[in-house]
Amino acid sequence: MKRVAIAAYGITPFSKDDKKIESILFESTKNLLENNPKIEKNEIDTVLVSTNNNSKYLSPILSESIGIQPKIAHSIENLCNSGTNSIVSAYSYIAAGLADIVLVSGAERYDSPGQILEWDNSRGEFKHPIFWASIFTSSYKRKFGISDEELAMVSVKNHSQAQNNPNAISKKTYSVEDVMNSKKITDDLKLLDCSQSCTGGASIILASENIIKKITDQPIWISGVGQKTISAGFTKNNSFNSMESTKIASQTALHMAHKEIHDIDVAEVHDAFSVCEPMAIEAIGMANHGEGTKMVKELYETKNLMINPRGGLIGCGHPLGATGIAQTIEITQQLQSRARNRQVENPNTGLVHNMSAAATSSTILVLEK
């Protein structure tokens, strides 16, 4: 199996702009190619598009828009987890020898149809993500005796960290009181506990070991991949206060990378709602069950940026198909020491956690210098 590395990336600001999906895909790809002149675009032999948008044939459309004729071109959709699923597909094409340079481009509009899984009728009329997030939050608080104020710290931290990310949708910091006083969505969820669906794009180039040195002096290797699907329906989750798919995917990825959890210097975790960050930290193994909020508080008070340095989904916004790619770009920048004023000190190994529909499925990537 060939080794695979991340060679280049491009990203757009995350916003509420009303743009065509094709334009968003084009913008982050253009950004990538303009910032990486060593990449000869005609050498891109595969183009994968990650989105929940219902438009058809987007990968050939993107290919034609940038003037290339790749061997392989198609879309990948897996709700909020589409971005890292696309990266895993790109990894697989290269590792198997079917491709050498793969462009993965993710994009979403603020009004993405991927927010609602219509099929999941077990949820009755409660299909919007705020309802699974409320059940998660209620269960997590009940199980571990956690308060709303402790969970609000996730939003405080991630909005604060987003201020160092020029592409983040959040332009403001908040206090715990601000979060607590923000609009009540349910008994267990305030507006500032939620990530925002938004418009945004992110693109990445993966390349094989024999090509990568021609493209970049700072390749970031994908050394671990872990994925797990428990179900499609939310009600099939075994627990509502832990993330089983994340735990399994994390163990798989760390095993593949020959790493232990203490080797991880920086991580992007899928904080779609406040409660998701401590649950993810615990499932990955960075904190004991019920102690994730304690870790979040400590990180914030010590200005330690190791979890969600770009501001997470809560601070950055959540353009579904682009999110996993944007998370991967952040860890790549961190490992390349190019994260500017949000740089974690000298990281060697990073982790990306991306999930769908209340952690019914998860993807974990381990990245290394």
Partner 1 sequence: MSFESEMSKGSFVIPQCSTCQKWVWPPTDYCNACFGKISLKKGDFQGRVIEFSRQNDDYFCMVEIENSFRIMAKMSDKPKIDQIVKISKCGIEDGNYYFEIN
Using alpha carbons only, give the angle 326, 329, 332 rounded to the nearest 5 degrees: 155
Q: How far apart are CA 363 and CA 365, in angstroms?
A: 7
When asked if residue 240 is in the footprint of partner 1 (CB under 8 A), the reply is yes
- Closest approach, Cβ 357 to partner 1, in A, equals 14
Q: How many binding residues for partner 1 (CB under 8 A)?
A: 26
Token pair, residue 213, equals 């040195």
Site string for partner 1, 116-155 (x = CB under 8 A): --x-xxxxxxxx---x--xx-xxx--x-------------
Residue 152 contacts residue 300 (beta carbons within 8 Å):
no
Minimum CB separation from partner 1 for residue 122, in Å?
5
Residue of the chain from 164, 173, 196, 235 that contacts partner 1 (CB under 8 A): 235
Nearer to partner 1, 128 or 213 (CB): 128
Q: Please report how close the Cβ of residue 125 comes to partner 1 at its closest, in angstroms.
A: 5
Q: Which of 70, 93, 65, 88 is nearest to 78 (CA)?
A: 88
What b-and-e string marks burial along 244-258, b requiring 16 or more CB atoms within 10 Å of the CB? bbbbbbbbbbbeebe
Helix (H, G, I), strand (E, B) or coil at 248: helix
In the complex, what is the shortest distance from the CB of residue 134 to partner 1, in angstroms, rounded to a whole number?
4
Asked whether position 290 contacts partner 1 by CB under 8 A, the answer is no
How far is the C-alpha of 143 from the C-alpha of 139, rounded, in Å? 6
233 belongs to the binding site for partner 1 (CB under 8 A): yes
The binding track of 336-365 with respect to partner 1, each residue x by CB under 8 A or -, is ------------------------------
- The Cα–Cα gap between 296 and 312 comes to 13
Q: Which residues in the 160-189 window bind partner 1 by CB under 8 A?
A: 185-189
Cβ closest to partner 1, residue 18 vs residue 187:
187
Least distance to partner 1, CB of residue 126, Å: 5
DSSP 116-155: --TT-GGGTT--SHHHHHHHHHHHHHHHHT--HHHHHHHH
Is there binding between residue 54 and partner 1 (CB under 8 A)?
Answer: no
CB closer to partner 1, 137 vs 161: 137
Question: Considering beta carbons, is residue 123 or 228 the nearer one to partner 1?
Answer: 123
Q: Which two tokens stand for residue 329?
A: 């770009």
Strand partners, 355: 362
Give the nearer residue to partner 1 in terms of CB position, either 4 or 359: 359
**Which of the 8 DSSP states describes residue 249?**
H
By C-beta, is 121 or 348 nearer to partner 1?
Answer: 121
Q: How far is the CB of 282 from partner 1 (least distance, A)?
A: 18
Reduce the secondary structure of 31-95 to three states and give it as a string.
HHHHHCCCCCHHHCCEEEEECCCCCCCHHHHHHHHCCCCCCEEEEECECECHHHHHHHHHHHHHH
By CB under 8 A, the residues from 212 to 231 that bind partner 1 are none
Closest C-alpha among 47, 87, 48 to residue 68: 47
Interacting span for partner 1 (CB under 8 A) from 4-12, 32-40, 65-73, 235-243: 235-243
Residues that bind partner 1 (CB under 8 A): 118, 120-127, 131, 134-135, 137-139, 142, 185-189, 233-236, 240
